[in-house]
A and B are shown apart, each in its own frame.
Chain A
Amino acid sequence: MTIKQLTEQDKADISAFLDAEEGMSDLMAQSDAGKTLERYSLIGDAMRADGKDFIHLDIASKVASQLEHEPIFADFNKSESSTEVVKEDKVSENVVAFNWKKPFSQIAIAASVAMFAIVGVQTVPTNETQLMPESLPILQTIPFGGMATPVSYSSEQSALQSAASGLRKLQQQRIGALVLEHQRQTRIASSEKKQQNEVLNNFENEDAK
């Protein structure tokens, strides 16, 4: 059936079909043009990603069945079957678990923090007179953990070695300790500020009375 051969009835059928008023008539479905139409509309649907109902390429179920036959390397079922409460208990154990880190030698960690502070410092001037009046000596950016946490230092190894001649180890330790002390004191100060404010507020309240 070529286009020229379309009768008025065919045209009416096509119109009704495209308006979704009617299903495909047998005649249309059987004809070559009908099959072409079917293919094109399928392609169109696929590209528009609608009509999930009648494209039955069931990838999901195939993948699922494939997965079922995969060997299991880790059993996640256990944790999943446990309740929320149990999970949270585990989280809370982590909080408590900080305590086991305490036995770490404080000095050792201070040293590791300080090593960070030293990375990249290669040109500390030997005395103050060498300092340029308008520029600060040295000062490359040094990735020491701002929260004083030793980050992975393996990658810094070469830089560390080249910087080893920079500052004396003792001074490194001292700088690390000072940075941590600054953080600690800042935190404590924020609470003291609060106390002061409360004292002031109390005074104000009393005055108001």
Chain B
Amino acid sequence: MSTIRRKLTRLSVVSDRIGDRDAAPYLLVGPALVTVFLVTIGPMLWSLWLSFNRWKPGSLAHQEPTLNGVDNYEWLFSNDRFIDSVVNFAFYGGVGVFLQVALGTLLALALYNYVESRTLRIGLLTLFIVPMMYAPLVAGRMWQLLFLPGGGVVNGLLGVVGLPTVNWLGTRWLGLTAIMISDTWQWVGLPLLIVYGGRANLSDSLYEAAKVDGASRWMMFRRITLPQLRNLIIVAAILRFMDAYKFFDKLFIMTYGGPGTATELPTFFTYLVGFQEFNVGRAAALTWVLGLGSVLTMLLFWRYMRTVEAS
């Protein structure tokens, strides 16, 4: 009897310990939140204020930030270079993400369905994700070598097949395409992993029932696999699309936005305005327009991530 009572009092201690009126949760979360505030949120709020100022720290005329209303934003939206970089972003983000997600999905399903040997399956999976371990900058340098107009392997192969060779990094759309190919090589593993994991979690009974009904492979793909994996595929696409807002390293090393300003993406343009011209107010306005875009994408991500986590 007394042991039971002892256990019961201990149990009530337990419920106090994991109760809500308790300092521990805040002590545990506090340091992380404060750090994120100091290195991310705080500085970005300051940059929001800067975006309504004219500030060129390098020049004599505008050494101190001076308020200039929405001038920076007006400049931005009437700037052809910015508009061009947004068009490039739409192409790079739209086509690139579609390519990566489509390829990743097909590879994942082919790997799961048609490679029987487990060792081979894991081996291929590993091979497909090793490129993610490259520094993006290093991967860009590597692909620049492959795309060289003269001695590059890509043009070499085109020549062997009898196709005309092209100056890959020398024009706007070819340059963006070349960057997109190198980025696909590096990141196809991410959608692949997500879809592969999702497919492995689908129960076989769905497919067995369909087989009994005489469904073809195509039917099963269209009616079972795709609908079941839909949300996961969307999450993979959004994750890759969010990286398009950050895209910098490969562009920096492969074309430096060139020829001229032809292949600039918004992030790279911001870098040039901020750290080459030191027009900090304008660069801050740019980062906020970019940031708003990525916030909208994030809200989408959250929506789908919840459905995925719930299932």
Do A and B interact with each other, yes or no?
A: no
